[in-house]
Amino acid sequence: MQFKIENGALVCKRQGETLRIEAWGQDALRVRATMFPAFSGQDWALTEPVPAGTATVEMGEQELREGDGSFHKYPLATVTNGRLSVTVNHGGVMTFYRDGKKILREHYRNYGPSITKESHCLKVVNREWVPYVGGDYKLTVRFEPNDGEKIFGMGQYQQPYMDMKGCVLEMAQKNSQTTVPFMVSSLGYGMLWNNPAVGRVSFGKNLTEWEAACCKDMDYWITAADDPKGILKNYTQVTGRAPMMPETAMGFWQCKLRYRTQEEVLTVARRYKELGIQLDVIVIDFFHWTVQGDWKFDTKYWPDPKAMIEELHSMGIRVMVSVWPSVDRRSENFYEMSECGMLIRTERGAMQTYDYQGDCVQIDPTNPETREYVWQKCKEHYYDLGIDYFWLDNSEPDLTKYDFDNFRYHIGPALECSNIYPQWYSRTYDEPMRALGVQPVNLLRSGWAGSQKYGKVLWSGDVPSTWESLRDPLQAGLNLGLAGIPWWNTDIGGFMEGNVFDPAFKELLVRWYEWAAFQPVMRLHGDREPFTIPALDDRDWGGGYLHTGQDNEMWSYGEDVYRIMRKYYELRRSMKPYISKIFAEAHENGSPLMRAMFYEFPDDDKCWELTDQYMFGPEYLVAPVLEAGAETRKVYLPEGTWQDTRNGETLEGGREITAAAPLDSIPVFRRITK
């Protein structure tokens, strides 16, 4: 291994690989390696300017025992930036330390001098580059596991496990699965896998492996801090922080699949106004358009959208409209976009990537010309009419089949970069809206590292209306916040399979709604059954032919349900100053609004085990009711004094209690500071 110092960074070369380690932000290091003559130059999620590196690089030696029992001295390099340091030995194996205590070491099991304390003949190396003929590499990076370590973050996965230790995670964007490859360790460090390639991470008991199916560089970033709050602060300093959410979007959002006409939208809005309920946002969902890729209203059912929007604005309601990245071959824009290279390309077979309600190909937002073209269409047909926000649905993008090896983007093959697609898609709208002086609040179904800075609200995807799907998004939302994305919500009641006449569904809906009052965004949405409402016409295109679900407004489920919904609507409005305060925290230091219990109580071992309750900001402990028929639930109160927000009762913490939870009540406790 050859060591040298280059512009304050340690550069190491061995067997064709170049390794570079440098300071990158507070108590943090960026680690890159490549088998090419030079690095690709991509910063991916590390978009924010950071102060010039102040790392200390030291060259030294270590004495190791040889196979014959003798000792020999080998070169050893150390890079230190604040509380984080790393040593690189003569075999290129790295070991990371926080305040001098080992937190992470690469896994190496190969024959030779004692590169690690355990040399074997297994021929397993720490960084394995497998070349493709004439092209890039498949990369596997291996680390030793730490017994007793807990791992959180990584985005949104539909599973019951919040602690990722022992889990195998596919790193690929899919509907309801959002890969944000940043992990928070209970050992006081965080690590960003700064690589948008399709891949996999295994947090095994015996081995940790990060895999990229196709890449030019290894690139990861690691930081150290006292607690998760410090880790998130350092991480969002280098990847960006969420902007400040406008107060006009902090209340209640009304949505359903789907409002088919402008009169349906206005009828709903007028009814809410009559009831004295202030809508912050009303959402116009998909197939209000002619065909996918036209990005405009079907004038047959939306004859005067400008007048509609003006009336909604007069009621203080912002208007969001759904746009999709898919372009139907029948679209007036398809030929031009195809000829100009603005669509995803297929490597083989037919040029088709999506077949829902049409023969479609998705746009390629990694191409700046695509972003400009799509924004100009949406500006002309939506924004200039007064539309405030955009629902960027199918933003993974959704694909007919996830054959990532068959797709190619402007910046490279999908295997190499497709995980960053939703980030670039959000930038299609965020950047021009900011240039017009508007703070975007756009709704997306997917994201990647750094997406938080692009004015996006991410939601849990098209999950079914089941108790399991109520429970799983809770851990998903908490882990997404720990991965740096604080603006999040769910479809209240789940998206699919909810029968409006079923008492069991009404119970689920109520419990979901109560929980949503303590989410960053409170949005009522769903495709409600039974599907007995006929289409408006028999065309196979346009705004009238597709089905609509049953009514999904606060009053749609009977007086008892309405009474509970109204109660929690009023509670949400009363909390607006507090909600504004915690949105400001997200903007200032990267803290999520929904916080895992250990985020606020890192010294309480019990809090590292809890997955079914959380802190909403620093003050409110929220314990959603997650079981059918439940009238009580267990709640753990950390040390301190707590007040039951429902009856004012004061309780001492450091213990588990049984909290009452009748159907019209969710256990929420306020932390009392002395």
Identify the active-site residue in 294, 462, 514, 527.
462
What phi and psi, each to the nearest 5 degrees, are found at residue 339? -65, -30
Predicted confidence (pLDDT) at residue 239 exceeds the cutoff of 90: yes
Is position 396 annotated as part of the catalytic site?
A: yes
Instruction: Name the nearest CA neighbour of 668 among 619, 595, 609, 602.
Output: 619
- Could you tell me which residue, 52 or 11, shows the higher pLDDT? 11
Kindly report the number of other CB atoms within 10 A of residue 533's CB atom: 12
Q: Is 462 a catalytic residue?
A: yes
**Whether residue 560 lies in the annotated active site:** no
- What's residue 68's pLDDT? 59
In the block, residue with structure tokens 């009856």? 647
Q: Per mean pLDDT, which range of 64-78, 135-149, 375-389 is the poorest?
A: 64-78
Tens digits of residue pLDDT in 62-119: 876 666 566 678 889 999 999 999 999 988 999 999 999 999 999 998 765 455 555 5
Quick one: average pLDDT of 494-513? 97
Q: Where are the beta strands (DSSP E) in 434-570?
A: 442-444, 456-459, 488-489, 522-524
Residue 348 CB burial class (10 angstroms; 0-12, 13-18, ≥19): exposed
Name the CA radius of gyration of the chain, rounded.
26
pTM of the model: 0.96
What pLDDT sits at residue 673? 82
The pLDDT of residue 285 is 96
What was the pLDDT predicted at 84? 98
User: Could you tell me what percent of the chain has a pLDDT over 70?
Assistant: 97
Instruction: Enumerate residues 6+ apart whose C-beta is below 8 A from 350.
Output: none
Does residue 263 carry a pLDDT above 80?
yes
Residue-wise pLDDT for 158-201, tens only, equals 999 999 999 999 999 999 999 999 999 999 999 999 999 999 99
> Which tokens go with 247?
């107060």
Residues in Cβ contact with 640 at an 8 Å cutoff, skipping those fewer than 6 apart: 652, 653, 654, 671, 672, 673
Residue 54 confidence (pLDDT) above 90: no
Catalytic residue among 328, 396, 398, 612: 396
pLDDT of 323 strictly over 80 = yes
DSSP for 591-629, written as a single string: --SEE-HHHH-TT-GGGGT--S-EEETTTEEE----STT
| Residue 509 near residue 469 (C-beta atoms within 8 A) | no
pLDDT tens per residue, range 607-646: 999 999 999 999 999 999 999 999 999 999 999 999 999 9
Beta bridge partners of 5: 10
Residue pair 171/218 in contact by the 8 Å Cβ criterion: no
Tens of pLDDT, residues 432-467: 999 999 999 999 999 999 999 999 999 999 999 999
Spacing of C-alpha 533 from chain mean position? 35
pLDDT of residue 18: 98
Average pLDDT value for residue range 135-143: 96
Task: Work out the pLDDT band at 300, boundaries 50, 70, 90.
Answer: very high
Give me the domains of the chain, ranges plus CATH numbers.
Answer: 2-239 (2.60.40.1760), 252-323+380-397+427-588 (3.20.20.80), 596-672 (2.60.40.1180)
Q: For position 228, what pLDDT does the model report? A: 98
pLDDT of residue 306: 98
Q: Which of these is catalytic: 22, 393, 491, 553?
A: 393
* 327 pLDDT above the threshold of 70: yes
Confidence band, pLDDT 50/70/90 cuts, at residue 29: very high
Q: What is the mean pLDDT of residues 9-14?
A: 96
What are 197-224's pLDDT values in tens digits?
999 999 999 999 999 999 999 999 999 9
